[in-house]
Amino acid sequence: MSYKFKNISIVSSFVCLWLASFLTANLELIFGFLLILSFGMLHGANDIILFDKLSKSKGKLPYLLMLSVYISVVLLVLFVFYWAPLFALTIFVSGSAYHFGEQHWEHESLKSTDLITYTFYFIYGLFVIALLLILNTSQVIAIVESIIKDQFPVVAIDYLFYTVSISFVILTTYLAIIDVDFRRRIWQELLYLLVFAVIFKVSSLIWGFAIYFIFWHSLPSLYDQIKFMYNGFDNYKMLAYFKKALPYWLISILGLIGIYFMFKDMTIFNGLFFSFLAAVTLPHSFLISRMFKQVKKK
């Protein structure tokens, strides 16, 4: 993550942690969804424009073609969620893990092979997700069971957490041995992980997820995307990004409001919401990874 953002992320996290000390569970849920639906969704709302920008370097693609490819991928993921939900959930969590890790570490240019670097992105992201899940097991189980429409054992989350923790310790130790810069940074990064653990433990699942997702992922990603799309960052460029994103964002919000009023049950809504999030996250993770690679080539 660009270091410009670290201070904003840390201060915002502590403000939200302080809020958690007196907000009721219901208010945490409302504010959590407000954050996810605003900045969280916004950071993915320009994916089609990003697709355009990434493909332009190779030759122009018609807008309708890109839109159709994008919608087909989203529908395909939703279809897999319907037919093989556990498989789809596993792919979603794995893709998200890589995506979180890449956003967090991309700016650090680790001095290792591509394979180790990409594996580290994945394991770091999965460690953050596993931490969130193991500190909120009962709420997670309710949502996962609503997605897979079957029982889900708590031990699966325990196994995930312990396996990922061991892999994370091994990889981190290895990188600390071979890379001096990484060795210098790692204490600060471990401290952030401790802050995440406190946030996830004290907050409800959605509030804890929202704090990480917005302040440690979406805002830094928005900054990187604006810099990439407009060759720099200032208030005008930010506004231009928001204007472009507005129609896509509105369509998604209206769709989700529709789903909420169709079911009016928070557990079913959570299940559908995460399936929807997964359907847009997989193409999003792919596009952002391509964006980072293109920036590196420049």
**Residues interacting with ligand RET, by CB under 6 A?**
44, 93, 96, 99-100, 129, 132, 140, 143-144, 205, 209, 274, 277, 281, 284
Smallest gap, in angstroms, from Cβ of residue 133 to ligand RET? 6
Smallest gap, in angstroms, from Cβ of residue 205 to ligand RET? 6
Smallest gap, in angstroms, from Cβ of residue 124 to ligand RET? 13
Shortest Cβ contact with ligand RET: which residue?
Answer: 96
Question: Is residue 17 within 8 Å of residue 202, measured between CB atoms?
Answer: yes
Pairwise CA distance, residues 275 & 77, whole Å: 8
* Burial call 39-51: b when 16+ CB within 10 Å, e when fewer: bbbbbbbbbbbbb
Instruction: Name which of 62 and 153 has its Cβ closer to ligand RET.
Output: 153
Pairwise CA distance, residues 161 & 177, whole Å: 24
Pairwise CA distance, residues 221 & 280, whole Å: 15
State how far Cα 269 lies from the chain centre. 19
Instruction: Name which of 66 and 93 has its Cβ closer to ligand RET.
Output: 93
Smallest gap, in angstroms, from Cβ of residue 26 to ligand RET? 18
Instruction: Name which of 103 and 172 has its Cβ closer to ligand RET.
Output: 103
Instruction: Name which of 147 and 175 has its Cβ closer to ligand RET.
Output: 147
Instruction: Name which of 171 and 277 has its Cβ closer to ligand RET.
Output: 277
Smallest gap, in angstroms, from Cβ of residue 129 to ligand RET? 5
Question: Is residue 113 within 8 Å of residue 146, measured between CB atoms?
Answer: no
Smallest gap, in angstroms, from Cβ of residue 204 to ligand RET? 11
Pairwise CA distance, residues 257 & 157, whole Å: 30
Instruction: Name which of 84 and 178 has its Cβ closer to ligand RET.
Output: 84
Smallest gap, in angstroms, from Cβ of residue 239 to ligand RET? 22
Instruction: Name which of 124 and 209 has its Cβ closer to ligand RET.
Output: 209
Smallest gap, in angstroms, from Cβ of residue 90 to ligand RET? 10
Instruction: Name which of 104 and 284 has its Cβ closer to ligand RET.
Output: 284
